[in-house]
Amino acid sequence: MARILGESDSAAPERRSKPSASGRAIVRTTLSDQTYEALKERILDQTLEPGARLNIDFLSRELQVSSSPIREALARLEAERLVVSELYSGYSVAPKPSAKYLADLLNYRIMLESHCALIGAPKRDRQILAFMHQAYERMAAVPRIGTRYRQYRRFVQADAWFHQLLVDSAGNEVMSATYESLHALLIQSRLYRTREGGSAAASEVLDEHTVILQAFDAGDGPAACEAVKAHLEGGRRRLIAREVVRASGGEQR
């Protein structure tokens, strides 16, 4: 039987559909999904470093699977911009996002998410609010943010769900689809910032989400807009602080 090295049954990755009206998601785990998560973990933890060539035969032997799930996983990772492919050269790990790119991404998020919060919060959509509370509770349930993908994955996935719901609250299909198309890049930037910032940053982020959620519960659009701006500006501040510390050769605490 094919297996993924280093993957225990309890840690088997899951691909979840969007929650149904009952709030329950259908969980679907396949060999392709497991292979995808195993490669994604290696990329985000930089076991496979940026720019590293990805040899399908080698990965097939390492993960003890056939080449088909490897190719399927690489195609998904390419769509998420975590790997790149070139004619005659094959696949390689995508370059690490620069500090400028992450700053530009934050500017985009501030513009889009604050607008959606301003429009969406006054609607007080019951399903959106219920799911936002679920996402918040999942973040709060993570006792400690580690430095490896498996350790911080649950936190950042819940964070991603919270913000997608925030954007969806505006009821603009184009904005929702555009934001969702950037899902992997947004996840990558969250992983980058959370891993570097550690538990202290995660605690601060959770406090900022509390303020956003309170504004949505109250149906206060302007307050929700300002809370989102403050949260994302906090992300900018943490990003800049990390880069300053890194440039000085020290370690952020």
Q: Classify residue 252: in a domain, yes or no.
A: no
Q: Classify residue 4: in a domain, yes or no.
A: no
Q: Classify residue 109: in a domain, yes or no.
A: yes
132 neighbors 162 (Cβ within 8 angstroms): yes
Among 106-115, 158-167, 206-215, 240-249, the range scoring the smallest mean pLDDT is 240-249
Q: What is the CATH number of the domain that holds 145?
A: 1.20.120.530
Q: Classify residue 228: in a domain, yes or no.
A: yes
Q: Classify residue 157: in a domain, yes or no.
A: yes
Whether residues 73 and 111 fall in one domain: no
Strand partners, 93: 83
156 has pLDDT over 60: yes
Half-sphere exposure (Cβ direction) of 228: Cα atoms closer than 13 Å? 31
| Rounded Cα distance, 19 and 247, in Å | 42
- Residue-number span of the structural domain to which 67 is assigned: 9-93
Read off the DSSP letter of residue 46.
Answer: T
What is the SS3 assignment for the chain? CCCCCCCCHHHCCCEECCCCCCCCCCEECCHHHHHHHHHHHHHHCCCCCCCCEECHHHHHHHHCCCHHHHHHHHHHHHHCCCEEEECCCEEEECCCCCHHHHHHHHHHHHHHHHHHHHHHHHHCCHHHHHHHHHHHHHHHCCCCCCCCHHHHHHHHHHHHHHHHHHHHCCCCHHHHHHHHHCHHHHHHHHHHHHHHHHHHHHHHHHHHHHHHHHHHHHCCHHHHHHHHHHHHHHHHHHHHHHHHHHHCCCCCC
Last residue of a domain, one of 93, 119, 134: 93
| Rounded Cα distance, 97 and 191, in Å | 12
Work out the pLDDT band at 83, boundaries 50, 70, 90: very high
Q: What is the CATH number of the domain that holds 45?
A: 1.10.10.10
Q: Classify residue 227: in a domain, yes or no.
A: yes
| Rounded Cα distance, 160 and 146, in Å | 18
- Domain count across the chain: 2
Whether residues 166 and 196 fall in one domain: yes
Q: Classify residue 174: in a domain, yes or no.
A: yes
Strand partners, 39: none
Instruction: Please name the residues in contact with 178: beta carbons below 8 A apart, sequence gap of 6 or more.
Output: 112
Whether residues 186 and 171 fall in one domain: yes
Last residue of a domain, one of 73, 93, 113: 93
Among 19-33, 48-62, 153-167, the range scoring the smallest mean pLDDT is 19-33
| pLDDT, tens digit (0-9, with 9 covering 90-100), for 117-147 | 999 999 999 999 999 999 999 999 887 766 6
104 has pLDDT over 90: no
Whether residues 71 and 194 fall in one domain: no
Dihedral sign for Cα atoms in the order 94, 51, 232, 186: positive
Last residue of a domain, one of 62, 77, 93: 93
Among 31-40, 105-114, 178-187, the range scoring the smallest mean pLDDT is 178-187
Whether residues 118 and 241 fall in one domain: yes
Work out the pLDDT band at 15, boundaries 50, 70, 90: very low
Whether residues 221 and 115 fall in one domain: yes
Whether residues 72 and 120 fall in one domain: no
Whether residues 127 and 229 fall in one domain: yes
Q: Classify residue 192: in a domain, yes or no.
A: yes
Mean pLDDT (whole number) for 163-189: 89
8 has pLDDT over 50: no
Residue with tokens 């699977």: 65
Whether residues 152 and 82 fall in one domain: no
| pLDDT, tens digit (0-9, with 9 covering 90-100), for 193-250 | 555 555 556 788 899 999 999 999 999 999 999 999 999 998 777 766 665 555 565 5
Whether residues 15 and 43 fall in one domain: yes
Whether residues 220 and 140 fall in one domain: yes
pLDDT number for residue 10: 33
What's the pTM value of the predicted model, to 2 decimals?
0.74
Whether residues 73 and 13 fall in one domain: yes
